[in-house]
Amino acid sequence: MNNPKQLKYVDQLCLFKLRGISGIDLQIVDEKDSDAGRHKREEHQRKLHTVKMIGYYELKRYAYPFWDSVAKKYTNLSFSDLVARYYRDKNLRQNVLHAIEDIEIALNAQIAYVLGNKYGPLGYLDFSKWCQRDSKNEYLNNKYMNKFAISEERLKFLTQLQYKIKKSSMVDVRNYLNSSGKIFPTVWIMINVLTLGDSIHILKLMSKASRREIASIFGCNAKELINWMECLNLIRNICCHNGNLIDFKLKTTPAIPSDYQDSLYCSHSSGRLLYTNRIAVVICIILKLMETINSKYQFHRLHNSITSFVNDNASANIYGFKDKDKLEKLFL
C-alpha cells in the first residue's frame, strides 16, 4: 500500500468538488478580467484559506449527513453551507458547554454540602463513613461494597486527588494546605479540583440516602440524576475537544425527563416507544436540570444555536425533536 501524500490546499478543494460539493470554482481567471475576475479570485483565495485554517477532515465531518451512498457523492450541499454548518456547530458546542458547566458546579456544591454537613470538613477522607456499604452497587457494575472494595476505592481516589491538588493553581487550595500543614483540603475546597467524571463517581459511591438527598435537589431520583450526568459528561467532552455535536448519536438513549417526552421524536418497535438518541434529548436534560439550578437562566443563545439547524419539521425530526413547533415551545 502506498504511503499517503500531503495534498495541496487546492487539491483538497478539488476533492470536495469532485465528491459533489457545489460552489467551488477552480477555473483559472485571466489577470485581464474585470471586477468579476477579481471577485472569483478573491472567493477562491477565501476558500483556500478556510481549508488551510480548519482542515479538510474537520470540514468533511460536517458533510457526512449529505453523503449519498448510491451516487457516491455529497448531494444538496455547497461549500459555503458546509463552512456555515461547521461554525453553527461551534456556537452550539459553546452554548451547550456553558449550561453544562453551571450544572457541574451545582452538582459539586451539593456533594460538598452533603458530605461536609454529615461527616465534617475532612470526613470525606474516611470512605467507610459515607460510601454505600455491605450491598451491591448498581452504579458500579453491581460491585459488592465490602470493606475491601471501599478501601480500594479510597486508595484510588486519594492517589488521584493528591496529584490533582499538587497541580492545582487554586489560591484557596494553596492557602489552606500551607496554613494548616495538612495533605488534603476540606471537602468544600477539594470538590473544585475534580472533573465532572470524578464527581459522578463520588455520587455513585455515596450511600443511598445521600444520593436521594442530592437527587431531590435537582427534582429527580438518583438513577435519573446519575444517568443524566453521565450523558452530560460525554457531551461535555465532545464540546471541549471540538467534536461534531449536532450530528452525534448517543449509543444508549438516556432516561427521558417525563415533562419533555412529548417534545421528542420517537418511533414504535414491538409495542414500545423508542425515543431519539440525538441532540434533542441532551437539550431536554439540560432544560430539566436547569429548572432547579437557575430558573432565570438565559437560554436565548442555546435556542438560537439549535434552531439555526432546524428549518422545518423534517430537519427537526433529524435532530430528535417531534417537530419545529415543539422545539420552539421548549424555550418559552
Is 278 a domain residue?
Answer: yes
Query: Same structural domain for residues 127 and 70?
Result: no
- The number of domains in the chain is 2
Question: Is residue 31 pLDDT above 60, yes or no?
Answer: no
Summarize pLDDT for 113-146 with one digit per residue, the tens: 999 999 999 999 999 999 999 999 999 999 999 9
| pLDDT score, position 59 | 97
Mean pLDDT value across residues 242-271: 92
Q: Which residues contact 254 (CB under 8 A, 6 or more apart)?
A: 227, 228, 230, 231, 281, 285
- Cβ proximity of 135 and 144 under 8 Å: yes
| pLDDT score, position 67 | 96
- Cβ proximity of 125 and 184 under 8 Å: yes
Is 1 a domain residue?
Answer: no
Higher pLDDT, 2 or 276: 276
Question: Is residue 25 pLDDT above 90, yes or no?
Answer: no
- Cβ proximity of 236 and 196 under 8 Å: yes
Query: Same structural domain for residues 66 and 90?
Result: no
Summarize pLDDT for 201-253 with one digit per residue, the tens: 999 999 999 999 999 999 999 999 999 999 999 999 999 999 999 999 999 99
| The last residue of a domain, from among 77, 110, 132 | 77
| The last residue of a domain, from among 77, 99, 126 | 77
All three cell numbers of 293: 439550578
- What is the rounded CA–CA span in Å between residue 254 and residue 235? 12
Query: Same structural domain for residues 54 and 147?
Result: no
- Percent pLDDT > 90 in the chain is 84
Mean pLDDT value across residues 295-323: 96
State the number of CA atoms in the 13 A half-sphere of 332 facing the CB. Answer: 6
Question: Is residue 185 pLDDT above 70, yes or no?
Answer: yes
- In terms of Cβ atoms closer than 10 Å to its own Cβ (0-12, 13-18, 19+), residue 52 is exposed
Summarize pLDDT for 32-59 with one digit per residue, the tens: 566 777 888 889 999 999 999 999 999 9
Question: Is residue 282 pLDDT above 90, yes or no?
Answer: yes
Where residue 110 falls among pLDDT bands split at 50, 70, 90? very high
Where residue 62 falls among pLDDT bands split at 50, 70, 90? very high
Is 309 a domain residue?
Answer: yes
Mean pLDDT value across residues 253-265: 95
All three cell numbers of 254: 438516556
Question: Is residue 1 pLDDT above 70, yes or no?
Answer: no
- What is the rounded CA–CA span in Å between residue 133 and residue 153? 12
Is 297 a domain residue?
Answer: yes
Is 3 a domain residue?
Answer: no
Question: Is residue 4 pLDDT above 80, yes or no?
Answer: no
Q: How many residues does the chain have?
A: 332
Phi, psi of 228 (to 5 degrees): -70, -40
Query: Same structural domain for residues 61 and 92?
Result: no
> What is this structure's pTM?
0.93
Query: Same structural domain for residues 270 and 128?
Result: yes
- What is the rounded CA–CA span in Å between residue 99 and residue 253? 20
Q: Which residue in the block uniquely carries the three cell numbers 457531551?
A: 235
Query: Same structural domain for residues 62 and 159?
Result: no
- CA distances to 36, 59, 92, 295 from 81, rounded to whole Å, are 22, 11, 16, 35
Q: Give me the residues paired with residue 137 across strands.
A: 143
All three cell numbers of 217: 435537589
- Percent pLDDT > 70 in the chain is 97
**Which range of residues forms the domain containing residue 38?**
9-77
- Reference 214, options 193, 237, 191; nearest CA is 191
Is 241 a domain residue?
Answer: yes
Average pLDDT over the chain, rounded to whole?
94
Where residue 267 falls among pLDDT bands split at 50, 70, 90? confident
